[in-house]
Structure 1
Amino acid sequence: MATAVEQPQDRSQPATPFERIGGHTVLRRITDRFYDLMEQDPAYAELRAMHAADLASMRESLPAFLAGWAGGPRDWFEANPGKCMMSMHAPFPISRQTAGQWAEAMRRAVQDAAPEDTEIAEAFIDVLTRMALGMARG
């Protein structure tokens, strides 16, 4: 019986952050944990109050955004031409407190999802925290 020989992947290009974090599977785990925390932990009540009652569409949208943002498939960006996180959140009264709640919930979600590549997980937390805090006004 012949066995398939696994061909080495072409690594002339470095792995993208999307690949390093664990692709769609891990981004979905992060997103689900993030929204679960927002819905269940009273520490994020003010943040939760800023969102729609039904988070289903956001649970679908965020992992797709993160995938494209991290160098993976750009489906979200193709479906939302000309949009970015800053412009989409401009209408909301984001304070330092709610931005901090978002960043803390995301930090916990990434850590709980436990990506194998801890270096890229910490980089995600750092960049997403800076992005969240950058949206705060006042």
Structure 2
Amino acid sequence: MAAAPEEPRVTAFERLGGAQAIGRIVERFYDLMECDPAYAELRAMHAPDLAPMRKSLAGFLTGWSGGPRDWFDANPGKCMMSMHSGFPIGAQTATQWAEAMQRAIADAELQDAEVAALLSERLDMIARSMGQTGKTAEGPAAA
């Protein structure tokens, strides 16, 4: 007896709503960073022109969530932690990043609330761990 064909795997990327959904998250995230004074310290760490960062983050989130892996192909061996290793990320800026991303995900009207919550949770963990292991302007961050 032949085995039943496997159901195609649906990725988080697809469950969230694909490239358009990732685009909404990224645009909202950087718009918050640019316009909301709560994220001023985080904004100050970035270049004046956020267009390259918007493109890079969209590419990263697309591949990381199961979509096309163009960003990873263009950046072999890189991850979010390694890409930010040279930045003076302290607990405060990590918290600002995490909170802006949580707001962006909540505001993006994503197709699947369960996957959106998981995405928010994982990105929050990554951001906050950078604040604990990164270096602040004054020296190593407190763990």
Which one of the candidate residues 55, 61, 70 is aligned to 2:65?
Answer: 70
Q: Normalising by the residue count of structure 1, what TM-score does the alignment of the two structures yield? A: 0.90
Q: Does the residue aligned with 2:115 lie in a helix, a strand or coil?
A: helix
Tell me the alpha carbon deviations over residues 47-96 of structure 1, each in whole angstroms, 9 at most, x when there is no partner. 00000110000111111110100111000000111211111101111011
Q: Give the C-alpha shift of residue 13 in structure 1.
A: 3.0
Q: Give the structure 1 partner of residue 35 of structure 2.
A: 40
Q: Percent identity?
A: 60
Instruction: Find the residue that maps to 2:82 and give its secondary structure.
Output: helix
Q: What is residue 94 of structure 1 aligned with on the other side?
A: 89
Looking at structure 2, the residues matched to 15 and 32 of structure 1 have their Cα atoms a distance apart, in angstroms, of 24
Inter-partner Cα distance in structure 2 for 1:24 and 1:116: 12
What CA RMSD, in Å, does the superposition of the two structures yield over aligned residues?
1.3
Aligned residue among 101, 119, 138 for 1:106: 101
Structure 1: which 5+ residue stretches go unaligned?
1-9
Amino acid at match of 2:82: S
Match of 1:53 among 48, 54, 57: 48
Pair 1:128-2:134 in alignment: no
Q: Secondary structure at the match of 2:10?
A: coil
Distance in 2, matches of 1:22 and 1:66, equals 12
1:21 aligns with 2:16: yes
Deviations 1:28-64 (A, max 9, x none): 0100000000000000000000001100001111111
Which runs of at least 4 in structure 1 moved beyond 6 Å after TM superposition?
Answer: none
Letter in 2 for 1:13: P
Partner of 1:5: none
Question: In structure 1, the residue corresponding to 2:88 is in which secondary structure?
Answer: coil
Aligned length, in residue pairs = 129
What is the deviation of 1:14? 3.0
Distance change >3 Å, CA 117–CA 11, structure 1 → 2 = farther
Superposition TM-score, scaled by structure 2 size: 0.87
Stretches of structure 2 that go unaligned for 5 or more consecutive residues are 135-140
